Amino acid sequence: MVYPREVRMAMEILENSGYEAYLVGGCLRNILMGKEPHDWDMTTSALPLDCAKMFSAEGHHVIETGIKHGTVTVLMGGLPIEITTFRIDGAYSDSRHPESVTFTPCLDEDLARRDFTVNAMAWGEKRGLVDLFSGKSDLEMMLLRAVGDPKKRFEEDALRILRAFRFASEHGFEIEEETKEAIIEKRSGLLNISRERIYSELCRTLVGDFSTNAIDTLIECGIMPYIFEEYEDSFAPDTKIIEKLPQNIEPRLAALLAFFPSEKAEKALSSLKMSNKERLGTKKLLEGAEMIKNEPFSDAVSARKFICRFGDFAKHSTELAFLLGYDSGEAKKAIDEASETEFPRGIDALKVSGSDVIALGALGRMTGEVLSFLLMKAIEDPKRNNREELISIAKEYILERKNEHSNN
């Protein structure tokens, strides 16, 4: 078992003080899969306050992240390690959190409370691999199976339903049939889950390496209406498109919402608790793809205008439009070619400034109008983006506007 020196040191500190200590959960699962763990989790027979005192006495910084629930985070040489006392969870009244936890000296009881068999293994230097629920066998078969009674697991914490699809997407697991049946039966528990947590799990599911199969299963299990109230079975998303897009949330969420009627897609997007940046990006991608559908183009000027309008999302919009069948490939080719050429992407890239335009006699709103006009001229012919020619174009435009004003 290969893991960092800092983790081994933490395990030794606990064991040398007479306690049991094990690697557990996702980090152990990833090690057994040959993947790099994202974080490090340990479980121990030491009580949380004893654990905190022990590591502080050794000179390590301790953060009492969840001490009521038995968890402290220890910084070992800068590496954060979450260490949780063996525990038994009390009753779950809100389909999310146990009302209480009871610390136990028994590792087996701690493992029995966990969500899926592949996450319910432990490994210690003395005892080796502890696998009470055939997690290693399920891992070899790439099978995601709930620990014990799956209905009980999902009644306790409905978020585990979405975690199942996230693990399927990130690692390629197939969800075991009894577990899948329990998901369908207990899916209404998702109504008790916060929109923030729902979005977080959806996001990680969409950007996974195996997102197509995971989203297909999610739809099959009738979960979509619990994520998007606006969803209807008739929308029938083509999930194969998702994996063909970059592994960013904006293009992949846009691919999913592209099969919603536009008004419902907008409402669905508004319902998600996501950042404004992600929301705006997804909205731009949908707008860009729809624009290509309604006004297909293949010329360089249209491509440059499209890039100016949609910025960093222009290429992903055309890629999405192509995958959706809105574009035969001509717009995508034009955007790819235009992206490699030099032209002003915005007013700030012009070789003249607002001060230059004001010096030519533009007043008030006319300054912005002139700059926008100059940008369009430079987009139509990028060679015009030189100071001398832009000044000449601006003079003529300002004169014409003033003559119009005088005549009126």
Q: Where are the domains of the chain?
A: 1-134, 281-339, 347-407
Which of 397, 343, 406 has the alpha carbon at shortest distance from 372?
A: 397
* CATH architecture classification, 1-134: 2-Layer Sandwich (3.30)
Which of 258, 265, 225 has the alpha carbon at shortest distance from 242?
A: 258
| HSE of 274, CA atoms in CB hemisphere, 13 A | 23
- Answering whether pTM is above 0.95, one says no
Give the angle 10-166-4 at the CA atoms, nearest 5°: 20
At 298, list the tokens. Answer: 């293949």
The span from the CA of 115 to the CA of 164, in Å, is: 9
| HSE of 367, CA atoms in CB hemisphere, 13 A | 11
> What proportions of the chain, in percent to the nearest 5, are helix, strand and coil?
60, 10, 30
pLDDT in single tens digits along all 408 residues of the chain? 889 999 999 999 999 999 999 999 999 999 999 999 989 999 999 999 999 999 999 999 999 888 888 999 999 988 999 999 999 987 776 666 677 789 999 999 999 999 999 999 999 998 999 999 999 999 999 999 999 999 999 999 999 999 999 999 999 999 999 999 999 999 999 999 999 999 999 999 999 999 999 999 999 999 999 999 999 988 888 999 999 999 999 999 999 999 999 999 999 999 999 999 999 999 999 999 999 999 999 999 999 999 999 998 999 999 999 999 999 999 999 999 999 999 999 999 999 999 999 999 888 889 999 999 999 999 999 999 999 999 999 999 998 888 877 776
- Cβ 288 vs Cβ 297: under 8 Å: no
3-state SS, residue 113: coil
The span from the CA of 189 to the CA of 266, in Å, is: 25
Give the number of other CB atoms < 10 A from CB of residue 361: 14
Which of 350, 346, 202 has the alpha carbon at shortest distance from 273?
A: 202
The span from the CA of 88 to the CA of 271, in Å, is: 35
Give the number of other CB atoms < 10 A from CB of residue 105: 12
3-state SS, residue 129: strand
